[in-house]
Structure 1
Amino acid sequence: MDLQEMLDQAATGTAHVEGGWGQGRATYGGLVGALAYAGLRAQLTTDPRPPLRSLTVNFVAPVAPGEAEVDATVLRAGSSATQGLVLMRQEDKPVAAVLAAFGAARESAIRVGPTAVMPTLPEPMTIDPFPYLAGMTPDFFQHVEMRLADGGFPMSGATTSHMTGWMRFREAPPTFDERHMIALADSWPPAVLQMVSKPTNGSSLTWTLELVDDVSAEPDTHWAYSVTTDAATDGYAHTDARIWHPDGRLVAISRQTVSIFG
């Protein structure tokens, strides 16, 4: 199955996690979040469906290739705000817990423009993407394209802990909406991994993605990305990222707590 087929399957309540999307011993977190969200999205019956405002993913256990139960529940559907919960299970054991908040637009006198400005980046095609090397880089690198403009490469012994660049899918999906943004937004390696000089594993413990503008776009759009590390100690790092449409609109804020092994 390709990405779109997996998303469509997850909407039935049973997801198929295709092989080749691995990140160490676990399935890539962006795909896990997107499959869970697809299951919940299918439960929303209001027309139009309220926009997704926030998605929080707790990675409980490694998700393996194969079947996964996507148990999605709409906790409350109010006149403006809707809250949902997804428990993803494999072999009757929880592997991910996801909370989502949706919110229809409402009248408000308050308007504050984004304070984060899209960085000035070289044109995407002038930067070589992270390579996919079977057995050496994460398997899911064969599906996503990341072009690093500033910061260090993983395991390069850098003194920096930030990254900026461009990202998109290597094979564009037929459309691009909230599901695809979730699947793409988690693709960058933990920013602190550039600070080590030997192979070291890192994985997301929790991840929150906040959508602040419409993410509908052409499927092959290059999205600008910037991440900084707020703090790192005791084997955990806390990162804060921004995602922009190439027209300069801030569309998403991504926050993570990352476990660092070694």
Structure 2
Amino acid sequence: MRTSLGAMLAAARIEGDGAGYTITGEWMQGRTTYGGLSAALCLAGTLAAHADLPPLRSAQIAFIGPAGGDVTARSRVLRQGKSMTYTEADLRQGEALATRCVFAFGSGRESAIGIDRFPMPAVPAPDACEPLWRKRTPLSFLQQFDARVGFGGRPGDGTGNGDIAYWFRLREPAGIPSAVRLLALADTPPPAVMPMFNTFAPISTATWQIEVLDTGASGEGWHLIRSTAETGANGYTSQTMGMWDEQGRPVLAGRQMVALFG
């Protein structure tokens, strides 16, 4: 039986400046926790420690070391202004630092500017797309998600060009704050260069930056995530990312630096 993210949050050990969580094996990515979960737990711990925060606007995330089992997410306010609040959160296993996040929360206000130049790429609806994994999922944490291929090939099939778009859906979305759900979902795709490999190769995301484009997004249901490699050399790739809901509304924008071992 899978342990859902909602169940993990419900079992949290709430502490003054954050929370303790138990990460079970089905959320692992090799020897460490799936990065989207690490970021989501940092945000969940922040929300537990600091009441009445404005909506999440952006996050800078560094995946510093491995983590699994019992972990703690501790948070502190860096600055609280009239419209923006900045917080820092660390995910640790014992004393070992695994993930560090800086979150920016901001209240909305009226503006003369209204721009939307971030259209969803043209892909078939999820039900018209093939499953991403032909057999079993290659990593434990992927069992938490449904996945369909929009375009760009599959990891390890040697057909890619560094531009992928996959549909993803969290299988058990209940009991999760919306912003936490978005972070848990948004890191799901493999690096954009993975379909360029002829076999699976180890990877490790080093840093991840996201911007929340729709603070009212729930993170429930299908979301299209596009990742496009801009550079790839010397064992690293830099990629841009975008996420849209099934209605085509932009939800997140981001970029990642990923270490490649193949």
TM-score between the two structures when normalised by the length of structure 2:
0.91
Change (3 A) 1:175 1:120: same
- Comparing 185-194 and 122-131, the one that deviates more: 122-131
* Sequence identity (%): 33
Aligned residue in 2 for 1:29: 35
CA gap of 1:43–1:3, structure 2 versus 1, over 3 A, is same
Aligned to 2:237: 237
RMSD: 1.9
Residue aligning to 2:54: 50
Measured in 2, the distance between the counterparts of 1:214 and 1:36 equals 18
**Residue 90 (structure 1) aligned with residue 96 (structure 2):** no
Verify the 8 A CA contact 1:10 1:38 in the aligned structure 2: no
1:192 is aligned with what amino acid? Answer: V
| 2:250 corresponding residue in structure 1 | 250
Alignment of 1:86-235 (within 5 A): 86-109=89-112, 111-131=113-133, 137-174=138-175, 177-217=178-218, 219=220, 221-235=221-235
Whether the 8 Å contact between 1:132 and 1:141 is mirrored in structure 2 is no
Does structure 2 conserve the Cα–Cα contact (< 8 Å) formed by 1:129 and 1:146? yes
Partner Cα separation in structure 1 for residue 93 and residue 31 of structure 2: 15
Cα distance in 2 between the residues matched to 1:37 and 1:241 = 20
* Structure 1 unpaired stretches of 5+: none
Provide closer, same or farther for how the CA distance between residues 93 and 218 of structure 1 changes in structure 2, counting only shifts above 3 A: closer
The whole-number CA distance in structure 2 between the counterparts of 1:183 and 1:218 is 9
Residues 126 and 174 (structure 1), Cα distance of their counterparts in 2 relative to 1, 3 Å cut: farther
1:60 aligns to what? 64
Residue 73 of structure 1: which of 72, 76, 82 is its match? Answer: 76
Q: 1:153-182 CA distances to partner (integer Å, 9 max, x unpaired)?
A: 111112411111311112342466110010
* Amino acid aligned to 1:116: F
Alpha-carbon deviation of 1:28?
A: 0.5
Supply the distance in 1 between the matched residues of 2:176 and 2:47 (Cα, whole angstroms).
16
Aligned to 1:20, the other structure's residue is in SS state helix
Alignment partner for residue 23 of structure 2, among 11, 17, 23? 17
Q: Secondary structure at the match of 1:142?
A: helix
Is the CA contact (8 Å cut-off) linking 2:201 and 2:260 kept in structure 1? yes
| Alignment-mate amino acid for residue 4 of structure 1 | G
The 2-side partners of 1:236 and 1:218 are apart by: 29
CA contact (8 A) 2:76 2:87 kept: yes
SS at match of 1:205: strand
Which SS does the other structure have where 1:118 is aligned?
Answer: coil
CA shift for structure 1 position 150: 0.6
The alignment of Structure 1 onto Structure 2 pairs a total of residues equal to 256
**d(CA) in 1 for partners of 2:256, 2:13:** 26
Structure 1 residues 84 and 176: CA distance shift in structure 2, 3 A: closer
Which residue of the partner structure matches residue 3 of structure 1? 5
CA distance in 2, matches of 1:56, 1:44: 18
CA distance in structure 1 between the aligned counterparts of 2:51 and 2:160, rounded to whole angstroms = 49
**Cα distance between partner residues in 2 of 1:86 and 1:176:** 17
Distance 1:11 1:103, change over 3 A: farther
- Displacement after TM superposition at 1:96 (Å): 0.8
Larger mean Cα displacement after TM superposition, 122-131 or 188-197: 122-131
Secondary structure in 2 aligned to 1:122? coil
SS in 2 for 1:42: helix
- Of 173-182 and 238-247, more deviation after overlay is shown by 173-182
CA drift of 1:218 comes to 7.3
